[in-house]
């Protein structure tokens, strides 16, 4: 027979484990969480309970504690979900200088299986094993630290743009035409028409500057990436920014300010998590250096690489640049030929940039084409049919201002901020070519 499990009833949490300090001595509190381990020593039972914020020790003196509580503990396996009402006691020897003496316990869900990987402890199991039961793997301390870095990053990004007067927008994810090259699109049937999942809100954010002037969006984008790399997802969180009456130089400065503010906010708001993830506080972030594409090519060629002017940087070339620039840097003024149709050219170059960190591309952006004739010409040059973009081109007849912007891969940024080498570790439920569940 299965041991009886309790219902939540009227119980509600009064403290997270991390909020319990010796200052609460003598208070009765209610905690919820999972059992990390039960040890019996003499007449005492030590139980470690963890929740999303941390863990705490419960101490049950067998002869003094309520007998039904002591008996119930016999059936509680590790990682079962419990509620505890207990009294806070200062205890120098306990992990946080404090412990709880339980007076009542609810066993809410008994864990029937042992996790297929360690939930505590520092050895990191294979990522695929963790991703197969992501809901459980997210209880691991480094996953919790990453999730907190993610939360604080998103809070700061939103605050940054809201304070500067940008409108937060959401744009359609089901779209009619590609913007970033057709091969990476996910097609779908939209009633009886062919449609696609969006690769980027590019055209929508550009249209919105005609009225809202400064916009940002944080939303998923989709790319049918065939290559299995450590930094490509099929569904990624994209931070998109677009602004009227500025050019790419202004946007570079905005992005630099954003990186600086996010970085210092993280050191303030999650210093403990950053140091757990192996990141040191090096003080204020230095200015982000800029490297013109022409110069970057020279550096790579100087290392004997076969690369020619106009080529995109291969992973080998990025490795060379990454050694010279191990932190953030911008590569600016790319050749016009390799850039999408909406990027403004200047001669054979373009008003464009990528934000890099070592070999990893974090963001890309530029000044946009704001003349309709020019945009039509560029569409044709790219082998695209302007008629398919009629819905977009027609708004340019109503005074499209000069504008510029960028798109940033949030998971790519989090790889850097949380010191992770695999993008899947910073995505909550990652999608790639081989993973469609959970
Ligand atoms: P781009 O195609 O360079 O530009 O994408 C912008 C940023 O999005 C991130 N990214 C990805 N992250 C994870 N997995 C992927 N498969 C993936 N693909 C892209 C990268 C990249 O730098 N419309 C333009 C942006 C603009 O000009 O505003 C665009 O989409 O970090």
User: Domains of the chain: which residue ranges?
Assistant: 17-109, 135-289+325-426
Q: Which of 1-15, 20-34, 71-85 has the lowest mean pLDDT?
A: 1-15
Q: How confident is the model at residue 10 (pLDDT cuts 50, 70, 90)?
A: very high
Mean predicted confidence (pLDDT) in 3-26: 95
Name the 3-class secondary structure at 103: strand
Q: How confident is the model at residue 63 (pLDDT cuts 50, 70, 90)?
A: very high
411 lines ligand 1 (CB under 6 A): yes
- Rounded CA separation 299/347 (Å): 23
Name the 3-class secondary structure at 38: strand
Mean predicted confidence (pLDDT) in 79-102: 95
Q: What's the length of the chain?
A: 438
For residue 363, the CA-to-ligand 1 centroid distance in Å is 6
By alpha-carbon position, which residue is closest to atom 2 of ligand 1? Answer: 180
Tokens read off for 162: 């809201």
Q: The CATH number of 135-289+325-426 is which of 3.30.230.10, 3.40.50.300, 3.40.50.2300, 3.30.930.10?
A: 3.30.930.10
362 lines ligand 1 (CB under 6 A): yes
Mean predicted confidence (pLDDT) in 283-300: 96
pLDDT for the residue numbered 81 = 98
Mean predicted confidence (pLDDT) in 305-323: 96
For residue 285, the CA-to-ligand 1 centroid distance in Å is 24
Q: Which atom of ligand 1 is nearest to the CA of 179?
A: 23
Tokens read off for 256: 């630099």
Q: Is the pLDDT of residue 186 over 70?
A: yes
- Tell which residue, 293, 263, 262, has the closest CA to residue 364: 293
Q: How confident is the model at residue 138 (pLDDT cuts 50, 70, 90)?
A: very high
Tell me: cis bond preceding 77? Omega within 30 of 0 counts.
no
- Rounded CA separation 338/311 (Å): 8
Task: State percent of the chain over pLDDT 70.
Answer: 99
- Rounded CA separation 12/22 (Å): 22
Q: Which atom of ligand 1 is nearest to the CA of 355?
A: 22
Please give the radius of gyration of the chain, using alpha carbons only, rounded to the nearest integer.
27
Q: How confident is the model at residue 182 (pLDDT cuts 50, 70, 90)?
A: low
- Rounded CA separation 232/97 (Å): 44
233 lines ligand 1 (CB under 6 A): yes
232 lines ligand 1 (CB under 6 A): yes
pLDDT for the residue numbered 5 = 92
Q: Which atom of ligand 1 is nearest to the CA of 413?
A: 31
412 lines ligand 1 (CB under 6 A): yes
For residue 371, the CA-to-ligand 1 centroid distance in Å is 24
Q: Residues 333, 294: contact at Cβ < 8 Å?
A: yes
Q: Is the pLDDT of residue 390 over 80?
A: yes
Mean predicted confidence (pLDDT) in 317-341: 97
Q: What is the DSSP letter of 23?
A: G
Q: Is the pLDDT of residue 101 over 90?
A: yes
345 lines ligand 1 (CB under 6 A): no
By alpha-carbon position, which residue is closest to atom 30 of ligand 1? Answer: 200
Question: Per DSSP, which regions of 368-412 are E strands?
Answer: 403-409
238 lines ligand 1 (CB under 6 A): yes
Residue whose token pair is 């602004």: 243
Q: The CATH number of 17-109 is which of 3.20.20.450, 2.40.50.140, 3.30.530.20, 3.30.1180.20?
A: 2.40.50.140
Please count the other Cβ atoms lying within 10 Å of the Cβ belonging to residue 376: 18
pLDDT for the residue numbered 158 = 98
Q: Residues 32, 51: contact at Cβ < 8 Å?
A: yes
- Rounded CA separation 294/55 (Å): 53
Tokens read off for 48: 């470690």
- Rounded CA separation 248/363 (Å): 13
Please count the other Cβ atoms lying within 10 Å of the Cβ belonging to residue 262: 21
Q: Cα 274 from chain centroid?
A: 14
Q: How confident is the model at residue 71 (pLDDT cuts 50, 70, 90)?
A: very high
pLDDT for the residue numbered 1 = 65
By alpha-carbon position, which residue is closest to atom 29 of ligand 1? Answer: 407
83 lines ligand 1 (CB under 6 A): no
By alpha-carbon position, which residue is closest to atom 12 of ligand 1? Answer: 409
By alpha-carbon position, which residue is closest to atom 21 of ligand 1? Answer: 363
Q: Cα 183 from chain centroid?
A: 25
């Amino acid at each position: 027979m299965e041991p009886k499990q309790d219902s939540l009833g009227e119980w509600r949490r009064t403290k997270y484990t991390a909020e319990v300090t010796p200052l609460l001595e003598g208070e009765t509190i209610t905690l919820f969480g999972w059992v990390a381990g039960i040890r019996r020593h003499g007449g005492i039972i030590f139980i470690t309970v963890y929740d999303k914020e941390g863990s705490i020790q419960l101490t049950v003196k067998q002869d003094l504690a309520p007998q039904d509580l002591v008996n119930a503990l016999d059936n509680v396996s590790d990682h079962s979900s419990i509620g505890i009402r207990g009294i806070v006691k200062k205890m120098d020897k306990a992990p946080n200088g404090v412990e709880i003496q339980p007076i009542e316990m609810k066993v809410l869900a008994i864990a029937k299986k042992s996790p297929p990987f360690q939930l505590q402890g520092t050895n990191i199991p294979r990522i695929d094993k963790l991703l197969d039961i992501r809901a459980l793997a997210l209880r691991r301390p480094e996953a919790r630290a990453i999730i907190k870095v993610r939360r604080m990053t998103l809070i700061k990004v939103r605050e940054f743009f809201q304070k500067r007067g940008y409108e937060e927008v959401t744009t359609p994810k089901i779209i009619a035409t590609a913007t970033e090259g057709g091969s990476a699109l996910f097609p779908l049937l939209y009633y009886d028409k062919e449609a696609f999942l969006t690769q980027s809100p590019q055209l929508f954010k550009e249209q919105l500057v005609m009225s809202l002037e400064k916009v940002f969006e944080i939303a998923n984008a989709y790319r049918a990436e065939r290559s299995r790399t450590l930094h490509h997802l099929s569904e990624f969180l994209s931070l998109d920014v677009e602004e009227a009456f500025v050019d790419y130089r202004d946007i570079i400065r905005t992005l630099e300010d954003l990186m600086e503010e996010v970085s210092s906010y993280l050191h303030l708001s999650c210093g403990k998590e950053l140091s757990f993830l192996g990141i040191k506080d090096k003080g204020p972030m230095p200015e982000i250096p800029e490297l013109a594409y022409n110069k970057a090519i020279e550096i790579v060629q100087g290392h004997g690489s076969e690369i020619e002017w106009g080529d995109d940087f291969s992973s080998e070339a990025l490795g060379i640049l990454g050694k010279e620039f191990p932190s953030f840097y911008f590569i600016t003024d790319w050749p016009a030929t390799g850039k999408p149709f909406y990027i403004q050219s200047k001669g054979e170059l373009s008003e464009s940039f990528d934000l890099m960190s070592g070999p990893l591309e974090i963001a890309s952006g530029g000044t946009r084409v704001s003349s309709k004739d020019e945009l039509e010409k560029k569409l044709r040059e790219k082998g695209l049919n302007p008629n398919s973009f009629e819905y977009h081109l027609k708004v340019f007849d109503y005074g499209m201002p000069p504008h510029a912007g960028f798109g940033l891969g949030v998971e790519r940024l989090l790889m850097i901020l949380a010191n992770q080498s695999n993008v899947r570790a910073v995505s909550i439920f990652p999608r790639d070519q081989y993973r469609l569940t959970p």
